[in-house]
A and B are shown apart, each in its own frame.
Chain A
Amino acid sequence: MALLEVRELTVSYPSRAGAVPAVRGVDLTLDAGGTLGLAGESGCGKSTMAAAVLRLLPQGTRTSGSVLLEGEDVLTMRPGRLRAVRWTEAAIVFQGAMHALNPVRRVGDQIAEAIRLHDKVTDRQAATRVGELLEQVGLPARRAPSYPHELSGGQRQRVMIAMALACSPRLLIADEPTTALDVMVQAQVLTLLEELRRELGLALLLITHDLSVLAANCERIAVMYAGRIVEQGPAARVFEAPAHPYTKALAEAFPTIGDRASRRNPHGLGGDPPDPRELPGGCEFHPRCAVSIAACPTLDVELWPAGDGRRAACVHVRDGNLDLVRQATPVPVGEDAPAQREMAP
């Protein structure tokens, strides 16, 4: 049985103009001790997904589908059970976590708070555990009485990870854990996460928009766009030979140093990530797609198999024309780009 199984999850936020769908029918699985990377940009619904796993969505959100954590559906749990499950089975390190620390309390106390919420422990026991956690994340235990402002960004991120590990969860969700960090600190944090995964047998769900980070650190990748998964499969294959045009664009956004093809040749997509309130019809990616065809705006997309254990939600995958995706030059992003091209079906 997989540790985490998400089935047809749909999450909508209430708004004056009606429900805004943030997540639209997502399926995911993560086995114990495995790593899954979730790639996507702002507005694609990945943070909503992460919050949904622990039912941390704001009041008024409507959800359907199921989120099975060790077989139990988080979405239908009773509040008492939910409280017990939160943090002890799965924990989240939020986006911008470095700012999620209370500036007027010592970091040791804040970590201890997480412990105390779940176990009755004496002060001495809590302090010992805090010390252990800090050591585990690479901070000396004597930093426990520090205030957040006395720590650097990287150190605060480690404190957040320590807090997440306080109750020995089996699943750790890291939402953009490295986005605001320097590349060296980023490497330190990612190495730390990998070590923790090995030592503690954690499963890791890593969420970021940097596909190369996921390719280097995860076994499998799922790419989200406009609330849906548009490609998933083994990390290396998805990164090196994307089957979906969006994945290709995302992979090219962060060039490989040393690759002549990207020297003085930035790749990008025209347009912007779609607003969840006004999604294009059919395949939501078609307005920005270099290889869209006449059928795309009205097509009902699903995840079609693309070989090598991959699946992608692109009509060319369905029709067996994977080469079209791979060869397509991206829509030129210079000033004189032609208007949307249509290719013959």
Chain B
Amino acid sequence: MTQPTVEQPVEALPPSLPPQLSPRAIARARRRQAAGRAWREYRRSWEGMIGLGILVVFVAVAVFVPLFIPASELDVTKATGTPFSPPSAEFPLGTDESGRSVLALTLWGARVSLLVGFLATVISVGIGSVVGIVAGHFGRWTDSALMRVTDWFLVIPFLPLAIVLATVLGPSLANIAFVIGITSWPGTARIVRAQALAVTSRPYIERARALGAGDWHLISRHILPNVVPLIFANTVLIVAVAILSETTLAFLGLGDPLRVSWGSMLDAAFTHGAASIGAWWYLVPPGVCILLVVLAFTMVGQALEAVLNPRLRGR
């Protein structure tokens, strides 16, 4: 028997919590504490903070841009500037081939690029996680079948498939997001499956089974919580890839022709010979934005990985 008066192996309750709270409430409070700790840990990584800062700026811009730049500025028929004029006081980033402000285009383009990126990520991670967990947990035939499907998608080259699908489905934001999602889930699926396999074979799963747990309980109570951190870190990187993919597709002319995105800007610039004219102000802003956003996501992803996997913290 443990001698309660002599040793206190259990962490004392934090002083801020009244001891009369129910265990569930206390468990919740502890989870919040753990989240707080994770946040503090994350804050130590300067690249994580910079990445996060960049992302916050871009998301804020994307959300609030209609407040300070009216949508009319994107209307080709209402363009007031001289085509391809270099940066000036009136047009801080110059104008495009129709005389529209490149600054307006860039800021509005953020909305589409980020939106499609996030949407595609949701689809990709959603499919990938479900496939990965089901394959990893159930194993055997299910696993074989699902992995063959995954391999199929993995092996098909992204671009040709995306082009075919986009052409068949028609150019719209939703379709582009769908196409990107459909073609990028296998990566997530494999990572998640590996983790699910590892967790499923742990003794506490067997114990839960012996207690009478069914598969749903095992997945939701044990496997998912152990897999979610991995999915989270992976998601962040997938968003970066999705945004790049959207840029690519838009650049190839497969994007929604009525919407401006960074990729479509690059496409338009290319088509209208901005490079040969020397209209660098048309190419650089969207390019730099893409670079910054993808870089930011990557930095955040790495910082997250370090938080979630203590061994990488380089202590």
Contact = CB atoms under 8 A, between A and B. Distances in A.
A337 B6 CA distance: 14
B2 interface: yes
B11 interface: no
A271 B1 CA distance: 7
A297 to B, nearest CB: 11
A146 interface: no
Contacts of B6: 271, 287, 340
Interface in B1-38: 1-3, 5-7, 9
Contacts of B2: 270-271
Contacts of B3: 270-271, 287, 339-340
* Interface SS majority for chain B: loop
Interface in A245-293: 270-272, 287
B128 to A, nearest CB: 31
Nearest to B7: A271
A80 interface: no
B10 to A, nearest CB: 13
A161 to B, nearest CB: 31
A309 interface: no
A340 B9 CA distance: 17
A335 interface: yes
A187 interface: no
A270 B5 contact: no
A215 to B, nearest CB: 29
A275 B85 CA distance: 74
A340 B7 CA distance: 12
B1 A337 contact: yes
B222 to A, nearest CB: 27
A339 B6 CA distance: 9
B57 to A, nearest CB: 36
Contacts of B7: 271-272, 287
B238 to A, nearest CB: 33
Q: How large is the interface on A (under 10, 10 to 19, 20 to 34, 35 or more residues)?
A: 10 to 19
A334 B7 CA distance: 18
A337 B4 CA distance: 12
A333 interface: yes
A340 B5 contact: yes
A98 to B, nearest CB: 20
Contacts of A272: 7, 9
Contacts of A335: 1
Contacts of B9: 272
A339 B5 CA distance: 8
A269 B7 CA distance: 14
Q: Which of B1, B2, B6 has the most CB of A within 10 A?
A: B1
A335 B2 CA distance: 9
Nearest to A337: B1
Interface string A88-121: 0000000000000000000000000000000000
A234 B164 CA distance: 84
A272 to B, nearest CB: 8
A334 B5 contact: no
Interface string A313-340: 0000000000000000000011101011
Contacts of A287: 3, 6-7
A270 B9 CA distance: 14
Nearest to B4: A339
A340 to B, nearest CB: 6
A339 B2 CA distance: 9
A104 to B, nearest CB: 21
Contacts of B1: 270, 333-335, 337
Contacts of A337: 1
A162 B131 CA distance: 48
A11 B266 CA distance: 65
B2, B3, B9 interface centre (most CB from chain A within 10 Å): B3
A47 B3 CA distance: 28
Nearest to A333: B1
Contacts of A340: 3, 5-6
A287 B4 CA distance: 11
A271 B7 CA distance: 8
A229 B2 CA distance: 25
A340 B3 CA distance: 8
A334 B3 CA distance: 12
A272 B5 CA distance: 14
Given A271-B2, A339-B3, A340-B5, 10 more contacts: A270-B1, A270-B2, A270-B3, A272-B7, A287-B7, A334-B1, A337-B1, A339-B5, A340-B3, A340-B6
Interface of A: 270-272, 287, 333-335, 337, 339-340
Interface of B: 1-3, 5-7, 9
21 contacts: A270-B1, A270-B2, A270-B3, A271-B2, A271-B3, A271-B6, A271-B7, A272-B7, A272-B9, A287-B3, A287-B6, A287-B7, A333-B1, A334-B1, A335-B1, A337-B1, A339-B3, A339-B5, A340-B3, A340-B5, A340-B6
Which A-B residue pairs are the 10 nearest by beta carbons? Answer: A337-B1, A287-B6, A270-B1, A271-B3, A270-B3, A340-B3, A339-B5, A335-B1, A271-B7, A340-B6
